[in-house]
Amino acid sequence: MASDQMRNSDDIAKLVASYNTPPEKMRHVQEVSARYKLRLDQYKQLNLSRSDNRDQRLMIYSEIKTLGWVLGKAEQAVLKDISECTKMVGPLGL
């Protein structure tokens, strides 16, 4: 019984210490913006492919929305970016 209490107190101490020292540092705006653009390109490529990749598209879509939120973009702006990147272009680019 006493050993369980000691282990619990150790776990609590580790938890409190983890809040004082975050495991990951904050990202720079440029890094988040670059990742946002990269995910938009990946989403476009997945939409152009003919394979069944719904799960991948959904995962990237949610990451795009999250990155947009981190960048401080309005949801409508993020949705506009997603719709613009998925527009199909004709064979001549017209």
Contact partners, residue 88, CB within 8 Å, separation at least 6: 48
**Dihedral of CA 71/77/78/82: which sign?**
negative
CB 91 within 8 A of CB 63: no
pTM score over 0.75: no
How confident is the model over 33-91, as pLDDT tens digits?
A: 999 999 999 999 988 888 888 889 899 999 999 999 999 999 999 999 999 887 754 45
Tokens of 79: 């949705």
Which of 2-6, 27-31, 49-53, 78-82 has the largest mean confidence? 78-82
Angle made by CA atoms 17, 18, 24, in degrees to the nearest 5: 140
